[in-house]
């Protein structure tokens, strides 16, 4: 009996051991798994060009089709906001980051840069008109640049009315002695036609009226515009020529609202022209337009210049530098600290001086000093900002999906729109080739217009960005399904766009924009799928006066080849 009890007790002990091994070990594994799960770092995926895109798995960007890159979300554990980022010590060392403290300026002068154009002196401009109705038989001043003097003959005109008036004079000669008052009245009436006493006497002596009457210059100067042609009939008072005295010319500059408070009449300025880079030109402001341009938001500033040597030609581009004294100390930052994105300016601030954290901060800048910018708002005295390596930090912010100079859209607000973009993208799969071709064309043209607008704003960084967007659209096209004409143009367009995005220099971008526009115009002109009215516009002064075309959705001229220097230079050639 005792032996059996021992056996039962042994079975019970073995059962407890087996229960622990089976259930206790499983519980420990579950607990360990839960703890391990807490320590897992979940990664998300984003687009290097569109950091607002957030995905939970790898794939391609729904906006540009680039491969998504992984972003570690460990930074969120530091409690950073969407416009803050953390950089590792290695990244900081490679970026060669330099910082400085925001302080009051040590300079007492500000340099204001203005861009303008040489114009004729409107006070000396004159219009040569006809004194009577007639047909121009000969025009001696028949090209722009002809120099004329007051009282000198510049052409011949035939007038039936003047011919009849001369016949009346010859008829009145027969009763000159018997009716002297009547003769004098007829003779004096010819003076209204600007005939001189000598001409009238010659008619009486020759007893024959003048067929062609000479036209005499009313003023001295240079012909700047011809409004008449030989063989055409003109009424009394019709303009024939525009004459300007080029011994003095005007330099017309555009000054922005923020600059007007530092400008005043009589202020001296230094001038520089590409035609005379070593020339020592100076002048004084003699007029400031009291009314701002609604389109450009600028006021015209005029300088009267002596031009007796004739070196300054109307139409020349000219720049001015004005030294303005600062009335008080202002907050300043080094020019290397500011990143420009069109109308916006940003800097990177260190919210914690002893930590590798950086915060994107929008600022409003004022006057341009020698090496600094005046800060109107956005920063305070003592703030630590990045002065070298800001572009590197901005690139890191993009890769981490943070706000940057290229994107200020909150990621959370974008998720809903991103989901909608995916649905639309999926629906396009079943659309036929003609529809896809039309959509691709519109995307291409819209990217081109964004490039154009960036050049108008003289923003080379954004122009290059949108150029890369156009390049991606072109690379996605299936050239096998296009016509030979479109295929050839798109291959050329691809190479031309690559040339455009290969540089960040604004002048080189504008040179590349000319052949790019030519190809775009050719494609648009032959396409029947464009869904918007488009205008072909032309500037004769672009590319060193060789002229260049571009496309625009607006009738108003906004010149991408000169920007604010000659914003409205150009005309509409054609509407598509």
pLDDT at 220: 92
Q: Are 338 and 345 contacting, i.e. CB atoms less than 8 angstroms apart?
A: yes
Residue 17 pLDDT more than 80? no
- 384-415 confidence digits (pLDDT tens): 989 888 888 888 887 777 777 766 544 444 33
What are the boundaries of each domain within the chain? 1-40, 43-78, 110-122+246-325, 126-244, 431-575
Average pLDDT over residues 293-317: 88
Do you know the residue count of the chain? 576
Kindly state the average pLDDT of the residues 524-544. Answer: 76
What whole-number percentage of the chain has pLDDT above 70?
Answer: 77
Question: Of 388, 297, 311, whose CA–CA distance to 347 is shortest?
Answer: 388
Task: In whole angstroms, give the CA distance from residue 379 to residue 373.
Answer: 12
Q: Which of 33-42, 240-249, 287-296 has the lowest mean pLDDT?
A: 33-42
- Under DSSP, the state recorded for 66 is P
Q: What is the pLDDT of residue 126?
A: 92
The candidate with the shortest Cα–Cα distance to 66, out of 82, 46, 90, is 46
Which of 23-37, 179-193, 221-235 holds the top average pLDDT? 221-235
Q: Kindly state the average pLDDT of the residues 299-310.
A: 90
First to last CA, the chain: 112
pLDDT at 289: 92
The model's pLDDT over 83-113, given as tens digits with 9 standing for 90+, comes to 788 888 777 777 788 888 888 876 666 778 8
Return the residue matching tokens 């940003």.
346
Residue 426, pLDDT > 50, answer no
What tokens does 422 get?
A: 């995916």
Of 43, 50, 67, 58, which is closest to residue 421 (Cα–Cα)?
50
Query: Which pLDDT score, from 0 to 100, does residue 88 have?
Result: 80
Measure the CA–CA gap between 557 and 573, rounded to whole angstroms: 11
Q: Alpha helices of 457-529 — where are they, by DSSP H? A: 460-476, 484-501, 506-526
Q: CB neighbours (10 Å) of residue 375?
A: 25
Residue 77 banded pLDDT, cuts 50, 70, 90? very low
Question: Which pLDDT does position 376 carry in this prediction?
Answer: 82
Q: Which runs of consecutive H residues, i.e. helices, occur in 81-230?
A: 89-95, 160-172, 180-189, 197-206
Asked which of 211-220, 264-273, 488-497 is least confident by mean pLDDT, the reply is 488-497
Instruction: Check pLDDT > 90 for residue 301.
Output: yes
Q: What is the pLDDT of residue 7?
A: 60
Cα 384 from Cα 339, distance rounded (Å)? 16
Per residue in 57-75, pLDDT (tens digit) is: 777 776 666 777 776 555 4
* Burial bucket for residue 226 (CB in 10 Å: 0-12, 13-18, 19+): middle
Are 553 and 519 in contact by the 8 Å Cβ rule? The answer is no
Which of the four pLDDT bands, split at 50, 70 and 90, describes residue 353?
A: confident
- Range in 185-194, 361-370, 406-415, 555-564 the model is least confident about: 406-415
In this predicted structure, the answer to whether residue 423 has a pLDDT above a threshold of 90 is no
Domains 110-122+246-325 and 431-575 share a fold: no
User: Phi-psi region for residue 199, left (φ > 0), alpha (ψ -120 to 50) or beta?
Assistant: alpha
- CATH architecture of the domain formed by 110-122+246-325: Beta Barrel (2.40)
b/e for 4-29, b at 16 or more Cβ within 10 A?
Answer: eeeeeeeeeeeeeeeeeeeeeeeeee
Distances (CA, A) of 197 to 189, 193, 317: 12, 12, 49
pLDDT band at residue 1 using 50, 70 and 90 as cut-offs = low
Indicate yes or no: pTM above 0.85. no
Q: 150-164, 177-191, 350-364: which range is least confident on average?
A: 177-191
Average pLDDT (513-521) is: 85
The CATH class that applies to domain 126-244 reads mainly beta
Q: Looking at the domain that runs over 431-575, which CATH code has it been given?
A: 1.20.120
């Amino acid at each position: 009996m005792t032996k059996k009890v021992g056996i039962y007790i042994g079975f019970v002990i073995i059962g407890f051991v087996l229960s622990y091994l089976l259930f206790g070990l499983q519980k420990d594994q579950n607990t360990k798994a839960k703890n391990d799960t807490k320590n897992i770092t979940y990664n998300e995926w984003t687009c290097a060009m569109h950091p607002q895109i957030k995905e939970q798995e790898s794939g391609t960007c729904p906006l540009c089709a680039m491969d998504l890159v992984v972003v570690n979300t460990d930074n969120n554990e530091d409690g950073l906001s969407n416009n803050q980022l953390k950089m590792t010590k290695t990244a900081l060392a490679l970026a060669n980051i330099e910082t400085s403290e925001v302080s009051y300026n040590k300079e007492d002068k500000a340099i204001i840069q203005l861009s303008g154009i040489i114009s004729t002196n409107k006070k000396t401009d004159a219009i040569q008109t006809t004194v009577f109705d007639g047909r121009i038989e000969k025009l001696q001043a028949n090209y722009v640049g002809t120099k004329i003097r007051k009282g000198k003959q510049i052409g011949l005109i035939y007038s039936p009315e003047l011919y009849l008036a001369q016949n009346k004079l010859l008829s009145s000669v027969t009763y000159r002695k018997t009716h002297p008052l009547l003769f004098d009245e007829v003779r004096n009436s010819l003076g209204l036609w600007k005939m001189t006493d000598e001409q009238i006497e010659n008619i009486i002596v020759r007893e024959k009226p003048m067929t062609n009457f000479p036209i005499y210059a009313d003023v001295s100067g240079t012909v700047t515009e011809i409004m008449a042609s030989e063989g055409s009939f003109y009424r009394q008072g019709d303009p024939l020529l525009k004459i300007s005295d080029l011994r003095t010319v005007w330099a017309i500059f555009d000054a922005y609202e923020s600059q007007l408070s530092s400008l005043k009449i009589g202020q001296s300025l230094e001038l520089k022209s590409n035609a005379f880079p070593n020339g020592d030109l100076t002048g004084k402001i003699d007029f400031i337009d009291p009314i701002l341009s609604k389109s450009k938001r600028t006021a015209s500033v005029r300088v009267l210049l002596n031009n007796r040597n004739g070196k300054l030609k109307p139409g020349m581009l000219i720049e001015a530098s004005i030294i303005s004294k600062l009335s008080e100390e202002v907050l300043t930052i080094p020019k290397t600290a500011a990143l420009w994105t069109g109308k916006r300016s940003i800097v990177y601030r260190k919210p914690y001086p002893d930590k590798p954290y950086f915060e994107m901060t929008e600022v409003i800048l004022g006057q341009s000093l020698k090496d600094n910018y005046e800060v109107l708002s956005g920063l305070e005295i003592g703030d630590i900002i990045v002065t070298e390596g800001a572009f590197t930090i901005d690139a890191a912010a993009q890769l981490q999906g943070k706000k940057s100079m290229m994107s200020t859209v909150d990621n959370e607000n974008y998720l809903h729109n991103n989901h909608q973009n995916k649905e639309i993208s999926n629906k396009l799969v079943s659309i036929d080739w003609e529809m896809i071709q039309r959509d691709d064309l519109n995307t291409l043209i819209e990217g081109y217009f964004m490039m154009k607008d960036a050049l108008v704003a003289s923003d080379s960084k954004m122009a290059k960005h949108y150029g890369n967007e156009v390049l991606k659209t072109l690379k996605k096209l299936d050239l096998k399904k296009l016509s030979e004409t479109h295929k050839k143009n798109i291959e050329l367009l691809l190479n031309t766009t690559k040339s455009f995005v290969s540089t960040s220099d604004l002048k080189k971008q504008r040179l590349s924009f000319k052949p790019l526009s030519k190809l775009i115009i050719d494609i648009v002109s032959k396409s029947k799928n464009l869904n918007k009215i488009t205008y072909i516009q032309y500037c004769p002064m672009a590319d060193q006066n060789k002229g260049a075309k571009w496309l625009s959705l607006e009738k108003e001229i906004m010149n991408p080849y000169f920007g604010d220097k000659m914003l409205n230079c150009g005309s509409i050639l054609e509407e598509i």
